[in-house]
Structure 1
C-alpha cells in the first residue's frame, strides 16, 4: 500500500509492503495501548484519542522518522496509518510539530464516515503590531549560514525557535541568536493565539533563511 507524505510541498511516496502491515499488527496494537492512556497533543491533553487523533499522533512520529531518515521507523508509522485509515491517500505533515494540524486526504471512494474528521478549527488570532513582527523576523534571520536542505532546515528551525510558553498571565517564545548563542525573547502577548501567530512567522523566517545559499 502507498501513503504519500507532504512536507512543505515536498512529496514523499512511502510504499509499505503487505508483509510490513501483517507483521506490524502487534506493534500497531501496542501503539494503541500506549495511546489508550491519553496523549499530549501539542498544548492539549487528550484523555481518549479517537481514530483520527491517533493517526495524527503517529503522523508526528512519521515526521520525525523522515527528518532522521529512519526508513524502518517511517515504514512502521506509515503502516499504522494505513491500517487504521485504509482509504487514506495522503498525509500533510505540519512542519512546526502541531500534532492537530497533521491532515489526511482520502481517495474519492472513501465513505463520508472516513472523511468526517477535519482539521480542527483554531482561534482567530488578535492583531500584533507590525513592529513586533518585524523585530522577530529580523531575529529569526540574522547571522545565519544557509544552504541547508528542506528537511535539515525544518529540524534546525524547530530547535532554534521555542514553543510558546506562559509567563505570568502573558505568552511569549524565544529565538536562538546563532552569533551570540543567546536566546532572544519575543514581546509579551496577551493571548496564546497572538504569541503563536508571531512564533509561526519567526519559525517560517528561520526555516527559509536556513535554506538560502
Structure 2
C-alpha cells in the first residue's frame, strides 16, 4: 500500500509540481493551500508524511507543526525558502524530521521522502511501549488498559511515557518538570503531584509508586 502524503504549500505552482511528481512516484497525495486548511485536512485524514511550507497565510508552518505535534508524531518535512541555520534549528526544535530549502531538486525531494518514510517504517516496532496491563501508543498518543482506551491529557500521557521508559528508576518531581513542562517552567512541583493523582484515577491501577521526598517510579502489581 502506497504512503499517503499531505502537502501544505500556498504557492500554487510549487504545490502542483510536488503533487504531480509524488503522484507519479506512486504516492497517494493530498494538498492544502494554507496552514489553516492544512490543519483541518490533517485532522480529517490519515497521513504517513506531511510536507510543510513555513511562510504561509492564515497559519504559518511552525504553528501548524506545533499543532500537529500535540497529537501526532507523523513525520514532517519542512520545505521553505528560509535557509539560515537559525531557521533550520528552529524547525528541528519543533520536531520536524527533515528540512529542505528552496529552490530544490525533485530528485532530492524524493530521496528525502523515501529516507524519512524508511526511518518511520524501521521504528514502527517501537511505536508502542507497555508496562504490565498498560500500553501507550506513541503515534496516536493514546493509552490502553487491557485494550480499553483511557483518555489522558498530553502531559499525563508524557508522564506515563517517562515513567515506563525509565523503569525501574525513580524520577524526581524536578526531573518530570524539566522534561515535560520545560526548563523554563518555574512553577511549583506540586503540579506534578496533581497530574499523578489524575492519572491514578484514570488508569485505576496501582502501578505508580510515590517515593517519599523524591518523586515517582513504577512497580509491578504482585
Which structure has more relative contact order (CA 8 Å, sep 6+)? It is 1
